[in-house]
Structure 1
Amino acid sequence: MVKSFQGVRVVEPKKAALPILVKDHMSTNLVTFQPEDSIDYVLEMLTKRKISGAPVVNSHGHLVGIISEVDCLKEIIKGKYSNTPKFPGTVADHMTADVITLSPDLSLFDAAQRFLELKIRRFPVLKDGKLIGQISLSDIIRAFPKLKSTTW
């Protein structure tokens, strides 16, 4: 008979899973626009940066709205009817002013639920009333495959 001695087994306590938060997956190097920017400029920047929208801030840096490609379509359609090759409308004319924001300390699962409920593509992230980032639907989708099953 063969005896095996492994010694005393020490069971390491399970580490508590850290919460998965918006602040860990949001974008912080944001393109922002001002209300007086032209739609021409917005279209140029959205195309150049390969993004579909961005926050709008006033001269004090406070969030006043959000502008998206869909918002810009309004000016494009207006240009088609008036046969104007430029889109002189301003961000203030077409932006969404009633913006829903998220806290940086919100869990990524709660943020995902908000995306499902509200069917929008991006949320500005505010801390103490200040714009500190933005989380998009793409950020959420990119985050989950990186997570291990033990962190859920």
Structure 2
Amino acid sequence: MLKSIKVRDYMTHHLVTFRSDTDLFLAADRLLEHRISGAPVVDSQGHLIGMLSEGDCLRAILSSAYYDSAGGSVSSFMSTQVETVSPEADIIEVCQRFLRDKRRRFPVVEEGVLIGQISRRDVLRAVKAFAQHDADQPPEV
């Protein structure tokens, strides 16, 4: 049953992350380089303190156009209200949250520390793996 599949089993472990003092243009370059639309911002102990998205970068560019002050650090533009999930959450719960909250990804946090990220694509992988497992099982007699 899909409820037995946990976020921990399908989350991405190796993430691009930023520190709050990372230069905004460097962060934007890394988003482009890795072809990702956002990344978590963590402190020196790995605690999640925010998220930086393409939208945050666009807002920074627009702001700099108005005030003629380009650049700054990630901390000035990141979102600090971040919805997270537990590594023990089941895939169905996360799927419901993706649809309800219109999110593409959730950081996975354990005891305040960022340990991964789960995306819509990861959930689809879990469902595919589950369906293939069911197809490989002999029919019950």
**Could you tell me the TM-score, scaled by structure 1's length?**
0.78
Query: Taking structure 1 as reference, are residues 100 and 17 closer, same or farther at Cα in structure 2, changes over 3 Å only?
Result: closer
For residue 12 of structure 2, what is the amino acid of its counterpart? S
Percent identity, please. 41
Point out the structure with max Rg over C-alpha: 1
Q: Secondary structure at 1:101's aligned position in 2? A: coil
1:144 maps onto 2:127 in alignment = yes
Instruction: Give 5+ residue unaligned stretches, structure 1.
Output: 1-15
Please give the secondary structure, in 2, of the residue aligned with 1:50: coil
The amino acid across from 1:27 in the alignment is: T
Specify whether residues 46 and 55 from structure 1 end up closer, same or farther in structure 2 by C-alpha distance, changes over 3 A only: same
Q: Which residue is equivalent to 1:3?
A: none
Shift of 1:109: 0.8
Q: Which deviates the most, 126-135 or 102-111?
A: 126-135
Structure 2: stretches of 5+ with no match in the other structure: 136-141
* TM-score normalised by L of structure 2: 0.84
Partner of residue 99 from structure 1, selected from 82, 85, 98: 82
- 2:59 match: secondary structure: helix
1:71-122 Cα offsets, whole Å, 9 max, x none, are 11101212334567xx412211111111111011111110010111111222
Aligned amino acid, residue 51 of structure 1: I
* Deviation for aligned residue 1:17: 7.5
